[in-house]
Chains A and B, each alone.
Chain A
Amino acid sequence: MAAFHIALQEEMIPAALPRVSAGTGRGACRNLFGPIDHDELRSELKRQLKEIQASDCQRWNFDFESGTPLKGIFCWESVESKDVPTFYSQNRSSAANTTTPSRQQQPLLVSRQPEPREEAPLDTVRNVPNPPCAKENAEKTIKRCQGVKGPAKASAIPSTQHRKREITTPITDYFPKRKKILGAKPDATKGAHLLCPLEQTPRKKIR
């Protein structure tokens, strides 16, 4: 049994290495408390999760897994999302889109996606400028703004381009790739020089 644990432990080390290089921030993992039976742990966690889910299910008499109401003290009903505040509906802005089509004209897509957090260290990621795109962005905006006093009614960018951006940027931004940018340009963190824990808005990737 002990031999098995040691083997498992050794197996863990090379597995951890690529994670470190990928920059997930996990760093070195030392085995301080002896070997772990990962399978046992996993099944134990699964069992606990099941328990939690069962109690959630019971407390609200609602099956969250399948999304169906059960019998109990809560009298569930399904209502049209237009009959409840937009906040509750799953797709946050879908209702707003139908009522105010003007908002769709030039949407700021997924702008919250790469948006900053309260956690200061993460903010450095966002300070990484994207010079060519940023420049292009500025030029476009200047063009749109100069001489045009009123709203630039016709969108300068076709909506398909927006759609592309919305699908591609968030995912690459959110998961490991963003961290890679941090690793590649560590000097770019100097932008965070302000006194209070300020946040940094994202640089636009494409425009």
Chain B
Amino acid sequence: MAKEMKGQYEPVAEIGVGAYGTVYKARDLQSGKFVALKNVRVQTNENGLPLSTVREVALLKRLEHFDHPNIVKLMDVCASARTDRETKVTLVFEHVDQDLKTYLSKVPPPGLPLETIKDLMKQFLRGLEFLHLNCIVHRDLKPENILVTSGGQVKLADFGLARIYSCQMALTPVVVTLWYRAPEVLLQSTYATPVDMWSVGCIFAEMFKRKPLFCGNSEADQLCKIFDMIGLPSEEEWPADVTLPRSAFSPRTQQPVEKFVPEIDAIGANLLLAMLTFSPQKRISASDALLHPFFAEDPQACAKQEHFTHICTATDKVK
């Protein structure tokens, strides 16, 4: 593809509509900011777009008014009819260069400094707290859905359009990862905002490990891997309305966090366990997680972790 700049406009050739494998990206020549298009196809019936889709788009547009720094910006929603049964909806998002997955893959050993993890996690939780306060359950948090700007700003993406995506998914073979799924989702029990906090826990561990924490290849295998770390929950904790009985799993006890996430410090381990709590009712919320001592600006806290002491001295100097 020839990439010649001709004045303001770069001509692009041979890109078919909805061509897989390409994304349109643009720079606003006035502001210098980048935007990217995301196309979704929505099935329509005789009454046009499904009401649920309209509702979701309205919700997303409403969220935009808050202009939250840790939520990816949705600049516009443009619909164009393709056929009688399908409408193409183009979402204009702000463009961010990389997601957390890419970001983590580029981190050299021995891994991210503790201060960076704290900063990323704080932003991540603030974004999620905002979604939860607005009654949005993300349900598919994973490193691919967390964008990280070149300036280190965290932006959550890919939420609130479950209905639109679900139509899309009916048309395209899509594989969904289980690795960040909460036990109640894997068990197909009732669920709400705590499912996202489970995912946060998995991602928090991944920031230290630089690889996923639980890599199951089926729902049951995923649960087995989870119980290997947190132990088999008690009979009382096991949800009543699920088809999979607790007896399906061999009994095991909780293992030390360090065994699974050797890079983590004691306070971090405490927060991680609060997130990776089997019972959704007892699991920490985004707001409470932000108040956890892990985020307290106390140099003593990070002094425990030997190889991060140099960062602490740096912050001391600032003070």
**Is the CB–CB distance between A64 and B78 below 8 Å?**
yes
Q: Is A32 an interface residue (CB 8 A)?
A: no
Decide: A67 near B102, CB < 8 A? Known: A56-B76, A77-B12, A117-B163: no
> Could you tell me which residues of chain B, from 76 to 110, have a CB within 8 Å of some CB in chain A?
76, 78-81, 88, 90, 92-93, 95-99, 101-102
Besides the known contacts A77-B10, A148-B224, A170-B170, 13 further A-B residue pairs in the complex with CB atoms under 8 A apart: A75-B10, A77-B3, A81-B20, A81-B22, A82-B21, A92-B165, A92-B168, A110-B174, A111-B176, A117-B163, A149-B224, A151-B215, A166-B173
Interchain CB contact under 8 A, A91 and B78: no
- A95 vs chain B, min Cβ distance (A): 8
Is there a chain A Cβ closer than 8 Å to B216's Cβ?
yes
A89, B99: Cα distance in complex, Å: 13
CA distance A160 to B3 in the complex (A): 41
Enumerate 11 A-B pairs (CB-CB under 8 Å) in ascending A order.
Answer: A59-B76, A73-B29, A80-B21, A93-B177, A109-B174, A145-B248, A146-B248, A151-B221, A196-B192, A199-B192, A201-B185
A177 CB–B CB distance under 8 Å? no
| Chain B residues in the interface with A (C-beta under 8 A) | 1, 3, 5, 8-10, 12, 15-18, 20-30, 35-40, 43, 45, 52, 72, 76, 78-81, 88, 90, 92-93, 95-99, 101-102, 135-137, 139-140, 144-145, 147, 157-158, 162-163, 165-170, 172-178, 184-185, 187-192, 215-221, 223-225, 228, 241, 243-245, 248-250
> Given A199-B192, A201-B188 in contact, is the A75-B248 Cβ separation under 8 Å?
no
From B169, which residue of chain A is reached at the shortest CB distance? A110
Cα A117 to Cα B192 in complex, Å, equals 10
Which positions 49-76 of chain A face chain B at CB distance < 8 Å? 49, 52-53, 56, 59-60, 62, 64-69, 71-76
Any B CB within 8 A of the CB of A113: yes
B175 to A62, Cβ gap below 8 A?
no
List, in ascending order, chain A residues with CB within 8 A of B250's CB: 146-147, 149
Q: A108 → chain B, closest Cβ, in Å?
A: 5
Residues of chain A within 8 A of B25, CB atoms compared: 76-79, 84, 88
- Residues in chain A near residue B99, CB distance under 8 A: 85-87
Q: Tell me, in angstroms, the Cα distance from A138 to B248 when the chains sit together.
A: 9
Contact of A151 with B225 at beta-carbon distance under 8 Å, contacts A91-B174, A196-B192 already known: yes
Contact of A87 among B12, B29, B147 (CB under 8 A): B147
Q: How many residues of A contact B (CB 8 A)?
A: 92
Is A115 interfacial (CB 8 A cutoff)? Answer: yes
Closest chain-B Cβ to A106's Cβ sits at a distance in Å of 4
Tell me if A90 counts as interface (CB < 8 A to partner B). Answer: yes
For the complex, give the distance between the alpha carbons of A130 and B206 in Å. 36
On whether the beta carbons of B10 and A76 are closer than 8 Å, the reply is yes
A residues with a Cβ closer than 8 A to B are 49, 52-53, 56, 59-60, 62, 64-69, 71-82, 84-94, 96-97, 102-119, 134-135, 137-138, 141-142, 144-149, 151-153, 155-156, 163, 166-167, 170-171, 174-175, 191-192, 194, 196-204
Residues of B within 8 A of A89 (CB): 20-21, 23, 38
Which chain B residue shows the least CB distance to A45? Answer: B48
B38 touching A87, Cβ below 8 Å: yes
- Asked if residues A174 and B167 are in contact (CB atoms below 8 Å), the reply is yes
Contact partner of B162 (CB less than 8 A), chosen from A97, A115, A151, A152, is: A115
Query: Quick check: B35 and A198 within 8 Å, CB to CB?
Result: no
Q: A107: which B residues are within 8 A, CB to CB?
A: 175-176
Knowing A56-B78, A69-B9, A196-B192, say if A84 contacts B36 (CB, 8 Å). yes
Of the candidates B79, B162, B188, B241, which one forms a contact with A202 in the assembled complex, judged by CB atoms under 8 Å apart? B188
Asked if residues B190 and A76 are in contact (CB atoms below 8 Å), the reply is no
Q: How far is the CB of A51 from chain B (nearest CB, A)?
A: 13
A-B interface, 3 closest residue pairs, ranked by CB to CB distance from nearest: A170-B170, A107-B175, A85-B99
Among A77, A198, A202, the most chain B Cβ lie within 10 Å of the Cβ of A77
